[in-house]
A and B are shown apart, each in its own frame.
Chain A
Amino acid sequence: MTKLTLDNVTVHYEGQPQPAVVDTSLSVASGEFVVLTGRSGCGKTSLLNVAAGLVAPAGGRASVNGLPIAEPGADRAVVFQNDALFPWLTVRDNVAFALRMRGVPEAERRDRSDAVLTQVKLEGYGDRRIWELSGGMRQRVGLARALAAEPDFLLMDEPLGALDALTRERMQTLLLDIWAASGVGVLMVTHGIEEALLLATTVFVMAPGPGRIVKRIEADFGRRYAAGEPVRSIKADAVFVLARAELADAIFEGELA
C-alpha cells in the first residue's frame, strides 16, 4: 500500500504576481480514485504536476510514503490531455517506452506491451503508426503507455477531454475496469461533472484566485460499477442525481455572485 501526499502545497510560477495554488493538501492511496475538478485556471494542472514531480512547490511538501518527490518517476506515470505520444515509434514501442528506459530486454518488452494493449482493447494494433489511429485509440495508447510502466499511481490531466461524448463514455468504463483490476491509485483532472462523480472515490473541487480546494465529496459510484452495476442504473439513481447537483453548485459557487 503506497500513499502520495501533498501537504500544504503552494505553487508560485516565476514572474507571476500571485501564487497559482496556495496551502493545498490532499492524498491518494493505492486503490483510490481521486478527481480534481473546478473552473479553468484554478490550479488543477499545477497540483497534478507537483504530484508528478514536473513542478516544484514553492511551499509545503509532496511525498510518496514519506519520501519527498524530487523529480518525475515511473512510479507516477502521467497521461496527458493531448496524448503526447511519440510518432516516430510504433504503437507497441510507445507502450514499451518505460520498459526500454529500464533496460528490459526486447522480447519481454514485446510480451508485456502486447498484454497491456489487450487490456486497453487494442490487441493487434502493435505495429500500427500513431498517426493512423483515431483520437480515442491514441488516448488508449497513452493510457497503455502509462500502465506498462506498472506505476503505483496514474496521474491523468483531462485524459478524455479531447474525445467525443460516446467515445468518452466508453473510455470512462474502461478506466474503471483497469483501475479496479490493477489497484493503482489514480489522480485525475477533469471538467466533466458526471465523469468526476462516476469515476471518483473522492472529488476535490478547486476554486481560483488563488487556487485552493473548496470542497471534498466522497463517492462510491465507481466501486458500484466495479461490483457489477450498469452505468445506466447508477446514473439514474437519485443519490447520483443529487450528488451531481451538489458538485455543480460547488464548482460554480461564487462565479455568479
Chain B
Amino acid sequence: MTLTTGRELPITGLRPTGEPVAVWIGDADPTQDQSNQLRLRPPVSARTVSFITVAALLLAWSLAAHLQLVSPVFLPSQYAVAAKLVSVAQNGFVDATLLQHLAASLGRVFAALVVALAVGIPVGIAIGVSVVGRGIFDPILEFLRPIPPLAYLPLVIIWFGIGEPSKILVIAIAMIAPIALSAASGVRGVSQERVNAARALGASRAQVIRHVILPSSLPSILTGLRIALGAGWTTLVAAELIAATRGLGFMIQSAAQFLVTDVVIMGIFVIAGVAFVLEFVIRRLEAALVPWAGRD
C-alpha cells in the first residue's frame, strides 16, 4: 500500500480493491471496514495546512508592505488597514460610519432575501408538484440563472429607476433561482410513501403540500438559502453601483475612486467576514430547524 508511507499526499489514490479514484477519503471508504486495524491518515491535517497558508500570506503581505516592495498607495500595511477599520468605525467614510454602511448593505440583502423566499419557494414547489408549473417556470429560471447581475442591472435601472427598490431587485433576482431550484429538488425528493400516508390519514392536496411536502423539502430549501445568500452578497457591490449613498459596496467603490486603498482592502475583509458569519448562522439555523436531516 503506497498510501500509508506518508511521503506525500496522494492526488490519485487506489482503493483497496485496486480501482483508481480521483479523490481519496481514507476515513469514509466503505470498503475499508476494519478501520481500527488500518486507518489511513495523512501526515498533516488540512486545517494545519490552511493555517500555515494563511500565516504565510499575511507574512508575505507584511514583508512587502514593510520593505516598501510595493508602494503603500497600492498595498498598505496590515496596521494601516486595521487602523482604518477603527477610524471608519468611529469617524466614518463618505458620510457614514462603518456600522451604517454595514447596516445598509445587510438591510438590502435581507430585504432581497425576503422577496426571493416569497417568490422562490412557491415557484419551486410549483415546479416540483405540477407539470404545468415546471413547464412555466423551468425555462424562465434556466434563462435567468446564468446571467451576471451586471448584465441586467442597466435594464432594472431603465425600468425601475435608481431608488432602493432597484437595488433590492437586482440582489433578489440573483437569489430567486437557487432558492426555487433547491425547493423544487426538495419537493421531488419527498418520499411517495409519506405523501400516501398523509392522504390516507385524510389530508387534502393542499394539506399534503403544507404539512408534508413543505417540511420534507425544508432541508433542501435551507441549502438553497445558503447558496442564495452567497449569491446575494456577491451581487451587493453591483447593486450598490446604482446611485447609492451608503453600503459596503458603495464605500469600496468611493474609496477606489480616490485611491484610498486601505479602505478598499478593509471593506473586502469586512464583506468576507460578514459572509463567514452568515454562513455560520445558517448552519446553526439548519441544526435548529431541521434536526432530522440526514438521520432518516
B291 closest partner in A (C-beta): A129
Asked if residues B292 and A71 are in contact (CB atoms below 8 Å), the reply is no
Q: Complex Cα distance A82/B291, Å? A: 20
Asked if residues A149 and B215 are in contact (CB atoms below 8 Å), the reply is no
Q: A146's contact among B193, B201, B290, B291, by CB below 8 Å, is which?
A: B201
Q: Does B146 contact A (CB under 8 A)?
A: no
Q: Does B200 contact A (CB under 8 A)?
A: yes
Asked if residues B292 and A72 are in contact (CB atoms below 8 Å), the reply is no
Contacts A73-B200, A77-B201 aside, 18 further interface pairs with beta carbons under 8 A come to A52-B196, A72-B202, A74-B202, A76-B200, A78-B196, A80-B196, A80-B197, A82-B193, A84-B196, A87-B296, A88-B290, A97-B211, A98-B202, A101-B202, A101-B211, A129-B292, A131-B292, A131-B295
Shortest beta-carbon distance from A93 to chain B in Å: 10
Q: Complex Cα distance A97/B208, Å? A: 11
Asked if residues B201 and A101 are in contact (CB atoms below 8 Å), the reply is yes
Task: Decide yes or no: A86 and B196 within 8 Å by CB, A129-B291, A130-B292, A145-B201 being known contacts.
Answer: no
Produce 1/0 per residue, A131-161, CB < 8 A to B.
Answer: 1000000000000011001000001000000
Q: Does B174 contact A (CB under 8 A)?
A: no
Residues of B within 8 A of A (CB): 191, 193-194, 196-204, 207, 211-212, 215-216, 218, 290-292, 295-296
Produce 1/0 per residue, A57-96, CB < 8 A to B.
Answer: 0000000000000011110111010101111100000000
Q: Complex Cα distance A156/B216, Å? A: 23
B199 closest partner in A (C-beta): A72
Task: Decide yes or no: A78 and B292 within 8 Å by CB, A84-B193, A88-B215 being known contacts.
Answer: no
Shortest beta-carbon distance from A113 to chain B in Å: 12
Residues of B within 8 A of A74 (CB): 200-202
Q: Complex Cα distance A87/B211, Å? A: 12
Q: Does A54 contact B (CB under 8 A)?
A: yes
Q: B218's contact among A54, A88, A102, by CB below 8 Å, is which?
A: A88
Asked if residues A52 and B200 are in contact (CB atoms below 8 Å), the reply is yes
Shortest beta-carbon distance from B55 to chain A in Å: 42
Shortest beta-carbon distance from B211 to chain A in Å: 7
Residues of B within 8 A of A101 (CB): 198, 201-204, 207, 211
Q: Complex Cα distance A65/B296, Å? A: 39
Shortest beta-carbon distance from A117 to chain B in Å: 16
Q: A87's contact among B193, B196, B200, B292, by CB below 8 Å, is which?
A: B292
Q: Complex Cα distance A149/B203, Å? A: 11
Among A52, A54, A76, the one with the most B-chain Cβ atoms within 10 Å of its Cβ is A54
Q: Complex Cα distance A165/B290, Å? A: 33
Residues of A within 8 A of B194 (CB): 84, 86
Task: Decide yes or no: A131 and B200 within 8 Å by CB, A80-B193, A101-B207, A101-B211 being known contacts.
Answer: no
| A interface residue count range (under 10 / 10 to 19 / 20 to 34 / 35 or more) | 20 to 34
B292 closest partner in A (C-beta): A87
Residues of A within 8 A of B201 (CB): 74, 77, 97-98, 101, 145-146, 149
Q: Complex Cα distance A82/B194, Å? A: 10
Listed A/B pairs (8) with beta-carbon separation below 8 Å:
A52-B200, A54-B200, A78-B200, A86-B198, A87-B296, A88-B216, A97-B211, A101-B211
Residues of B within 8 A of A78 (CB): 196-197, 200
Residues of B within 8 A of A129 (CB): 291-292
Asked if residues B203 and A77 are in contact (CB atoms below 8 Å), the reply is no
Asked if residues A131 and B296 are in contact (CB atoms below 8 Å), the reply is yes
Task: Decide yes or no: A84 and B197 within 8 Å by CB, A130-B292, A131-B292, A131-B295 being known contacts.
Answer: yes
Residues of A within 8 A of B290 (CB): 88
Residues of A within 8 A of B196 (CB): 52, 54, 72, 78, 80, 84
User: Which 10 pairs across A and B sit closest by C-beta, in order of nearness?
Assistant: A74-B202, A87-B292, A72-B199, A78-B200, A98-B201, A84-B193, A84-B197, A131-B295, A88-B215, A72-B200
Q: Complex Cα distance A101/B69, Å? A: 72
Asked if residues A86 and B212 are in contact (CB atoms below 8 Å), the reply is yes
Asked if residues B199 and A54 are in contact (CB atoms below 8 Å), the reply is yes
Q: Complex Cα distance A146/B218, Å? A: 25
Shortest beta-carbon distance from B197 to chain A in Å: 4
Shortest beta-carbon distance from A97 to chain B in Å: 5
A73 closest partner in B (C-beta): B202
Q: Complex Cα distance A80/B194, Å? A: 9
Asked if residues B198 and A97 are in contact (CB atoms below 8 Å), the reply is yes
Residues of B within 8 A of A53 (CB): 199-200
A102 closest partner in B (C-beta): B202
B289 closest partner in A (C-beta): A88
Q: B199's contact among A71, A82, A102, by CB below 8 Å, is which?
A: A71
Shortest beta-carbon distance from B101 to chain A in Å: 39
Shortest beta-carbon distance from A146 to chain B in Å: 7
B296 closest partner in A (C-beta): A87
Shortest beta-carbon distance from B268 to chain A in Å: 40
Among B197, B199, B212, B295, the one with the most A-chain Cβ atoms within 10 Å of its Cβ is B197
Q: Complex Cα distance A73/B202, Å? A: 5
Q: Complex Cα distance A52/B193, Å? A: 13
Shortest beta-carbon distance from B179 to chain A in Å: 19
